[in-house]
């Protein structure tokens, strides 16, 4: 479903002779432009885009994400109506939050720097990453760059019988649960998957499992290990709440230590972000 997010601000009327968008360009379906602006550069293809996800020693730490990428350069129509860089950043942050998204990173405007923000939202079975970079050097009006990468989320619809079959066949099964970045709270799809794990354990009362959390290699190794432990524990806690006996469960996190795919691509990183159930 296409979502049109209106950036709601009280603005003065746009100039009578506003510049036109370049041929073949249009706003992305997820986010509209800031009012009273036009498109001067436009690219839409499968591509890799770098997103700031944190900082270290005062420098942005970036992650390259591949997917259906839309990159747009907007110019404001009027000096009188153009927003400040901070106003622009806050507008897009609020638009993403309004549809359940989150702010991953922000660098606030400063002297000689228009700032930057990275946003993320999961909607319609897809994950969207957004980068907003206000410009400060163009004239007479300012510009800003908007980059949006659409990534198909790895979905896993499992049943208790399928889980038990795979455990008996391979000794383990990988669950791909969609946690928010840096978070360990189970979302609705994760809760549904864990409910099937609980049903499997109830149907096989002699079965014991170890719950093992794993991450990709983005970020610090110690942080990833701690995050993987919290995610494994979240699954264990949900199973306890479903009535599974604690003696049948254990939880551990291994962070980025045991990759099953190449961390140099987003597809590989997605496979590495998993929770494994291991038969004991």
What is the 3-state secondary structure of the chain? Answer: CCCCCCCCCCCCCCCCCCCCCCCCCCCCCCCCCCCCEEEEEEEEEEEEEEEEEEEECCEEEEEEEEEEEEEEEEEECCCCCCCCHHHHHHHHHHHHHCCCCEEEEEECCECCECCEEEEEEEECCEEEEEEEEECCCCCCCCEEEEEEEEEECCCCCCCHHHHHHHHHHHCEEEECCCCCCCCCCCCHHHHHHHHHHHHHHHHCCCCCEEEEEECCCCCCHHHHHHHHHHHHHHHHHHHHHCCCCHHHEEEEECCCCCCCCCCCCHHHHHHHCEEEEEEC
Identify the pLDDT of residue 277: 96
Q: Residues 43, 135: one domain?
A: yes
**Structural domain harbouring 74:** 37-152
Tell me the average pLDDT across 17-45: 92
- For residue 4, pLDDT beyond 50: no
**Number of domains observed in the structure of the chain:** 2
Question: What pLDDT, on the 0 to 100 scale, is given for residue 232?
Answer: 96
For 113-161, write each residue's pLDDT tens digit.
999 999 999 887 788 999 999 999 988 999 999 999 998 666 666 789 9
pLDDT confidence of residue 127: 87
> To the nearest whole number, what is the mean pLDDT of the chain?
88
Domain's final residue, options 122, 152, 182: 152
Predicted confidence (pLDDT) at residue 11 exceeds the cutoff of 80: no
Predicted pLDDT of residue 2: 43
Residues 134 and 245 placed together within one structural domain of the fold: no
Which residues, in sequence order, are bridge partners of residue 62?
52
Assess whether 126 and 213 both reside in one domain: no
When comparing pLDDT for 51 and 100, which is higher?
A: 51
Sheet with strand 172-175: strands edge to edge: 172-175, 274-279, 209-214, 249-253
Top pLDDT among 178 and 220 is at 220
**Pair 197, 128 in one domain:** no
Write down the pLDDT at residue 243: 95
User: How confident is the model over 36-72, as pLDDT tens digits?
Assistant: 999 999 999 988 899 999 988 888 999 888 889 999 9
| pLDDT per residue as tens digits for the range 103-113 | 999 999 998 89
pLDDT of residue 179: 84
Same domain, 142 and 238: no
pTM: 0.59
So what's the pLDDT on residue 154?
61
Is 79 inside a domain boundary? yes
Q: Is there a domain that residue 21 lies in?
A: no
- Residue 8 within any structural domain of the chain: no
Which CATH number does the domain housing residue 66 bear? 3.40.1000
| Bigger pLDDT: 2 vs 10 | 2
Q: For residues 108 and 205, state if they share a domain.
A: no
């Amino acid at each position: 479903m296409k979502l049109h997010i209106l950036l709601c601000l009280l603005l003065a009327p746009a100039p009578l002779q506003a510049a036109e968008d370049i041929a073949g360009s249009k706003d992305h379906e997820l986010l509209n432009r800031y009012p009273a602006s036009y498109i001067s550069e436009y690219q839409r293809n499968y591509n890799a885009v770098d997103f700031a996800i944190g900082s270290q020693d005062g420098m942005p730490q970036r992650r390259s994400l591949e997917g259906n990428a839309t990159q747009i350069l907007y110019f404001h129509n009027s000096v009188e109506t153009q927003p400040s860089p901070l106003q622009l950043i806050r507008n897009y942050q609020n638009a993403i939050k309004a549809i359940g998204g989150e702010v991953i990173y922000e660098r606030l405007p400063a002297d000689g720097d228009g700032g930057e923000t990275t946003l993320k939202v999961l909607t319609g079975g897809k994950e969207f990453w957004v980068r907003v970079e206000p410009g400060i050097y163009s004239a007479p009006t300012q510009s800003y760059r908007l980059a949006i990468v659409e990534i198909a989320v790895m979905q896993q619809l499992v049943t208790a019988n399928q889980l038990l079959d795979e455990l008996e066949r391979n000794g383990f099964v990988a669950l791909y649960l969609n946690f928010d970045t840096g978070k360990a709270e189970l979302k609705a799809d994760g809760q549904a998957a864990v409910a099937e794990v609980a049903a499997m354990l109830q149907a096989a009362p002699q079965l014991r499992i170890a719950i093992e959390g794993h991450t990709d290699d983005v970020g610090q190794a110690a942080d990833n290990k701690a995050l993987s432990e919290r995610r494994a524990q979240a699954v264990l806690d949900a199973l306890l709440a479903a009535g599974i006996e604690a003696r049948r469960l254990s939880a551990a996190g291994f962070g980025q230590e045991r990759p099953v795919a190449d961390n140099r691509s987003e597809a590989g990183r997605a496979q590495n972000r998993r929770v494994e159930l291991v038969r004991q």
